[in-house]
Amino acid sequence: MFLPHRLMCRDIFISGLRSMCAEEKIELISQLQIHPMYVFRWEEQEQAYLLLYPEGIVKLNNSAGHILKYCDGVRCVSEVIHELEREFDQQGLDKDVVKFMEVAHAKGWIRFKT
Amino acid sequence: MPKAGSDLKLDGNGKPLWLVLELTYKCPLKCPWCSNPLGFEDYANELTTQEWKTVLRDARKIGSLQLGFSGGEPMVRSDLEELVDEADTLGYYTNLISSGVGLTKDRLKELKRVGLKQIQISLQHNDAAKNDAMVGVKSFEQKMQCIEDIKSIGFPVVMNVPVSRFNIDAVEDIIKLAEYHNVEFLEFANLQYYNWALLNRDELLPTIEQLQHAEAKVNEARARLGKNMTIYFVIPDYFDGRPKACMNGWGAIHLTIAPDGSALPCQEAQTITHLEFPNVKDRPLDWIWNESPTFNAYRGTSWMKEPCVGCDEKENDFGGCRCQAFALTGDATNTDPACSKSPHFDMITSAVENARVTGRPGMPLVMRTRGAVSNLMKKVCA
């Protein structure tokens, strides 16, 4: 077996694959879901949410993890914002949430529900 | 609230995040660049299913997350599905690294069912006869069928092409083949020269002109294909002047278990002949990773000599690869000769130059087969 150079030496922490989604704007009514290439889950040992993908790992900070937790393909963006504002007892998170979703979408972590 | 996700990183924090299980050294192919030991046939005592499961549980306890099932050819093990099932249950992200030979549709379905996430399948050439000649076995048609099956079952297709003089000029045609099969990820993996590849290096190493031409073709394809296919093309350390940050450092994030249970900081580590590799059958994995002399031998930077000691890049590349330093200079604490600051850098540049000058026409390749090479003369007669 031949293990490639990429496995032996590349930076495994480059976070994520290129976006594989069409250029769409994230709206309050958009429904987003974790891209099926990724596994999103809580990791007890790291005390963090992780995104695992082919040969890579992204450790998410607390806020990013909680946003992705609600990207289930069912809730629309405004519902995600509502859930977060309720969970963290804060108001006016909409801009930050959408901004992060744009980043996550550009990285290919989430996609529009198909 | 979060800023960009890009700075949300996971460093090892001393954990073996990456676990590779070399389930067996058995393989139906005879690739003359194989990374397995030259004496692969001497590894008779493969771990049992239960012993592999114990490794999976113990590695998870010390923080392993990404798991590669490798070999040899992992499909040779009839318990692969059972091991993937166990690994998925334990929370690993499971990757299978296979030639595609033996990866039948029935086994693919079962692997999907038990939670396998990704399959990386190797291909040598878009031309069937050339592909088969390079691996010494008729396998092209099986690989093509396997790619179709992988797609139909719903896995992403990751095609890995080990690149040598024998296929580097076919990069463009290989991309077209990958395009035809709707491959999502195509990796051109320029060979790393260890074990069988090092033995055959003079025949396998491309010229720098071939490499540059291939890279240009890859860039053209990237522009044309856009988001439809991700193409990796990693410039090999021989041509770069900079050493690779091999394994992100010795004993930093990577743990390989050889078929017999030997624990290795990388899959080539057994080439460093004076090290003793602890075995999971004898010692707890926690001790092996954290305490064993072998895993601590080249951890951090305290083992370094000049020019690494005084180098401001030592925290980035860790002095390169210990196995390459040992293989080429006889001392694993030397700077990797692939580094332009190494006093042995001429060993690399002369090999690259030699590839351009001669190419040794007519010289045969040593295929990875039982009894193809012998250390016996050296051992007995020394």
Does the annotation list B31 as a binding residue? yes
Report the pLDDT value the prediction gives residue A20, as an integer from 0 to 100.
Answer: 41
Residue B1's pLDDT band, with cuts at 50, 70 and 90, is: very low
Residue B110's pLDDT band, with cuts at 50, 70 and 90, is: very high
Query: Comparing B150-159, B194-203, B323-332, B369-378, which segment has the lowest mean pLDDT?
Result: B369-378
> B81 to chain A nearest CA, in Å?
19
Q: Is the pLDDT of residue A39 over 50?
A: yes
Residue B283's pLDDT band, with cuts at 50, 70 and 90, is: very high
Beta partners for residue B75, in sequence order: none
Cross-chain Cβ contact B66/A11 below 8 Å: no
pTM of the full predicted structure? Answer: 0.89
Joined tokens for residue B81: 């599905």
Its ipTM equals: 0.76
Interface A-B: count of C-beta contacts within 8 A? 142
Which residue among B5, B236, B321 places its CB closest to the CB of A15? B5
Q: Is the pLDDT of residue A66 over 70?
A: yes
Residue B360's pLDDT band, with cuts at 50, 70 and 90, is: low
Query: Comparing A53-67, A79-93, B143-157, B299-313, which segment has the lowest mean pLDDT?
Result: A53-67
Q: What is the pairing mode between strands B93-98 and B118-122?
A: parallel
Q: Is the pLDDT of residue B186 over 90?
A: yes
Does the annotation list B266 as a binding residue? no
Taking residues B209-222, report their average pLDDT.
Answer: 96
Cross-chain Cβ contact B122/A2 below 8 Å: yes
Supply the mean pLDDT for chain B. 92
Q: Dihedral through CA B65, CA B272, CA B244, CA B178, nearest 10?
A: -70
Beta partners for residue B158, in sequence order: B120, B185
* Sheet-wide strand order for B157-163: B230-234, B185-190, B157-163, B118-122, B93-98, B66-70, B18-22, B254-257, B263-264
Cross-chain Cβ contact A54/B185 below 8 Å: yes
Q: Is the pLDDT of residue B236 over 90?
A: no
Query: Comparing A50-54, B168-172, B215-219, which segment has the lowest mean pLDDT?
Result: A50-54
Q: Is the pLDDT of residue A19 over 60?
A: no
> B60 to chain A nearest CA, in Å?
9
**Which DSSP string do the residues of B141-181 spell out, in sequence order?**
HHHHHHHHHHHHHTPPEEEEEEE-TTTGGGHHHHHHHHHHT
Q: Which long-range contacts (CB under 8 A, 24 or more apart) does B358-363 make?
A: B358/B202, B359/B165, B360/B202, B360/B203, B363/B202, B363/B203
Beta partners for residue A76, in sequence order: A31
How far apart, in Å, are the Cα atoms of B132 and each of B99, B125, B136?
Answer: 12, 8, 6
- Comparison of pLDDT for B112 and A37, the residue scoring more: B112
Taking residues B71-93, report their average pLDDT.
Answer: 97
Which residue among A5, A50, A54 places its CB closest to the CB of B192? A5
A88 part of contact set with chain B, CB < 8 Å: no
Joined tokens for residue B185: 């990820």
Report the pLDDT value the prediction gives residue B218, as an integer from 0 to 100.
Answer: 97
Which residue among A18, A52, A64 places its CB closest to the CB of B230? A18
Cross-chain Cβ contact B66/A67 below 8 Å: no
Which residue among A6, A45, A67 places its CB closest to the CB of B189? A6
Report the pLDDT value the prediction gives residue A45, as an integer from 0 to 100.
Answer: 86
> B381 to chain A nearest CA, in Å?
31
The span from the CA of B269 to the CA of B362, in Å, is: 32
Cross-chain Cβ contact B245/A11 below 8 Å: yes
Report the pLDDT value the prediction gives residue B11, as an integer from 0 to 100.
Answer: 54
Residue B13's pLDDT band, with cuts at 50, 70 and 90, is: low
Residue A5's pLDDT band, with cuts at 50, 70 and 90, is: very low
Residue B95 CB-density burial (10 A; 0-12 exposed, 13-18 middle, 19+ buried)? buried
Cross-chain Cβ contact A15/B246 below 8 Å: no
Query: In chain A, which residues have their Cβ closer than 8 Å to the Cβ of B68?
Result: 3, 7, 55
Q: Is the pLDDT of residue B259 over 80?
A: yes
Query: In chain A, which residues have their Cβ closer than 8 Å to the Cβ of B71?
Result: 1
Share of chain B above pLDDT 70, in %: 95
Taking residues B267-289, report their average pLDDT.
Answer: 96
> A63 to chain B nearest CA, in Å?
6
With beta carbons less than 8 A apart as the criterion, state whether B366 and B196 touch: yes
Taking residues B136-147, report their average pLDDT.
Answer: 97
Q: Is the pLDDT of residue A91 over 50?
A: yes
Share of chain B above pLDDT 90, in %: 83
Taking residues B142-150, report their average pLDDT.
Answer: 96
Taking residues B206-211, report their average pLDDT.
Answer: 93
Residue B4's pLDDT band, with cuts at 50, 70 and 90, is: very low
Joined tokens for residue B316: 């980035």
Report the pLDDT value the prediction gives residue A87, as an integer from 0 to 100.
Answer: 92
A18 part of contact set with chain B, CB < 8 Å: yes
Conformational region of residue A38, where left means phi above 0, alpha means psi within -120 to 50, and beta covers everything else? beta
Length of chain A: 114
Taking residues A79-89, report their average pLDDT.
Answer: 93
Closest CA to A18 of B232, B163, B102, B94: B232
Residue A17's pLDDT band, with cuts at 50, 70 and 90, is: very low
Which residue among B120, B187, B192 places its CB closest to the CB of A8? B192
Which phi and psi (to 5°) does residue B78 adopt?
Answer: -75, -10
Length of chain B: 382
